Amino acid sequence: MLKIVVQNSISKVVLLDVVQNVQTGVFVPLHLNRIKLPDDLIRPHEVPEGFESYYLKEAPPRPPSSLPPPGSITLETNLSTFLGSGRTGIVYSLENAILSDPAQFSPELVFKFARLHRCADLHREAWFYEEMECLQGVAIPRCYGLFEAEIPSGCELLLPENQTLVNNPDSKDAQVDQVVHPLITELRSTRNKLCILVEERLGGRLPIGSPFSPEVREDLNTLFAEIGPLGILNENDIRHANILQAPACPPGLPSLVSPFTFRTHGWRMIDFEMAAKTQDTPATLNHGHQEYLQLTLYNLERGYVCDLGGSD
């Protein structure tokens, strides 16, 4: 019987059709290794002096991981369809994906490529996926790791459908962290690394121009309440493009029951590169998230997209 690949099973990704030798025109397989992120990459926001009574005494700790010891599987693949892009990255589906262990299989995956000047943002997002492991498959996608490689000298990146990882490289970095980790500082100036985040593929977006049923509204309202018990603030990325349907099962993996609300959701929230770890109470966080969510839903029902949150 085939085993399902768990989120820490893949240790290496080999991209077959992305890096081309400029002189010979031959594609060079690029080996990207999984990155182990520092536990303190993101540090909780400090509580304003004089307002301590409104906050938790400390930020909620990361729940213990339920994953087995890390695996050593290699995922070798070509890129397929361009699925979308934003401030931080570009997302592709995969084609001819092969795992080095034939006894295991994975759900359909997508790669999120960091723009060459946004590797720091993708590291931040990967850290939050690790912080929210207990909500993967519940309220957020299952995440299979952050992978990185240096672009070989004399080679260039060629992404399908003429996409590029260079986009307004002089734009200002989002300043989310009060205390910036040295790795983030280093990555802000990096331009020769390819960073990808591997996630399960989700479904479509919320419809535009039609009323949402009470069931969908209830699902979304409780969906955004899920991250509050972990002390995570993500107002900046609540928008239409960042709310996707859960994957159909089959072929995707089934939705899991929330450890906090004991609900099963039909939707997922994505994009956490501008999130923050806080000592805010779950009620405070949910109030802020609901303000952004309700405005997003209000506009969608009236036929247009107008989000309070930032772009990808």
What DSSP designation does 275 have?
-
Query: Which two structure tokens, joined as six digits, stand for 35?
Result: 């990155």
Q: Which amino acid is at 35?
A: I
The answer to whether the Cα torsion of 99, 103, 109, 112 is positive or negative is: negative
Block residue for tokens 């240096």:
150
**Total length of the chain:** 312
CA distance 180 to 227: 22
- What lies within 8 Å, CB to CB, of 181 at 6+ separation is 38, 40, 41, 42, 43
Annotated binding site for ATP: 112
Query: Which two structure tokens, joined as six digits, stand for 121?
Result: 């943002």
CA angle, residues 296, 297, 303, in degrees to nearest 5: 95
Helix (H, G, I), strand (E, B) or coil at 157: strand
Annotated binding site: 112
Q: How does 121-132 read in b/e, with b if 16+ C-beta sit within 10 Å?
A: bbbbbbbbbbbb
Q: Which residues pair with 14 in a beta bridge?
A: 31, 76
CA distance 193 to 214: 45
Block residue for tokens 């009236």:
302
